[in-house]
Amino acid sequence: MEERIFGKPMITQEEMRRRIQELGLRIAQDYKDKDLLMVGVLKGAFLFFADLARAIPLPLRVDFLVVSSYGNKKKSAGAVKVISDLSQDVKGQDVLIVEDIIDSGLTLTFLRKKFMARKPNSLRFCTLLDKPERRQTDVTVDYVGFTIPNRYVVGYGLDYENKYRNLPYIAVLDSIYEET
Ligand code: IMP
Ligand code: MG
């Protein structure tokens, strides 16, 4: 099967499918006696979130929030802003925040502080990708799909100038421009 659309896959659909199944089962094990509320960070996490939720065999709840992203640039603006918040109270629930990628760590640090103030029973983070080389703050991520080198990647929810989110695999942005 030819899965290549544009850009060379850095992580293929099959690799992603397998890893998400593993993560889902691990999360299900960890949360089997808890009250899991999965919180997706939009827009970047939308595909990962949908696949991960289906890989967790538990009667979980879902909710979403939209945070400001890098805009049109490839560098973090530093300040994170919530554009649209959750539709429910998280107090007493076991919250799992689902992110597309942890880069500088600023978004995660911001979200941790914001969510802790709302007194959940527990708070954990899950990310599809982790780029530890670019970290600016000390963060702990509880579930990581793939650790990747310091390259700007797109696809599977991740964008460049709000494009390429629909690519069904992860590709290095430069590899797309090399071809066109
Ligand atoms: P952080 O706050 O620097 O950790 O950045 C997190 C956000 O930056 C992610 O949720 C993405 O939206 C964006 N981001 C960071 N690196 C990349 C990348 O390689 N491709 C696409 N988006 C990225
Ligand atoms: Mg994002």
Q: What is the pLDDT of residue 1?
A: 46
Q: What is the pLDDT of residue 79?
A: 77
Q: Whose CA is nearest to atom 16 of ligand 1?
A: 103
- d(Cα 180, Cα 176) in Å, to the nearest integer? 7
Strand 36-42 to 9-11 pairing: unpaired
Strand 143-147 to 122-130 pairing: parallel
Q: What are phi and psi of 47, to 5 degrees?
A: -80, -45
Residue in 11, 64, 66, 70 to alter for ligand 1 test, most ligand atoms within 8 A of Cβ: 70
Q: Has 103 been annotated as catalytic?
A: yes
Q: What is the pLDDT of residue 80?
A: 84
Ligand 1 proximal residues by C-beta, below 6 Å: 44, 69-70, 76, 99-107, 152-154, 158
Looking at ligand 1, which atom is closest to the CA of residue 160? 21
Q: How far is the CA of 96 from the centre of ligand 2 (A)?
A: 16
- Name the catalytic one among 51, 100, 103, 130: 103
SS (H, E, C) the chain: CCCCCCCCEEECHHHHHHHHHHHHHHHHHHCCCCCEEEEEEECCCHHHHHHHHHCCCCCCEEEEEEECCCCCCCCCCCCCCEEECCCCCCCCCEEEEEEEEECCCHHHHHHHHHHHCCCCCEEEEEEEEECHHHCCCCCCCCEEEEECCCCCEEECCECECCECCCCCCEEEHHHHHHHC
Q: How far is the CA of 40 from the centre of ligand 2 (A)?
A: 10
Per-residue pLDDT of the chain (180 residues; tens, 9 = 90+): 445 667 789 999 999 999 999 999 999 999 999 999 999 999 999 999 999 999 999 999 999 999 986 555 666 666 788 999 998 899 999 999 999 999 999 999 999 999 999 999 999 999 999 999 999 999 999 999 999 999 999 999 999 999 999 999 999 998 887 765
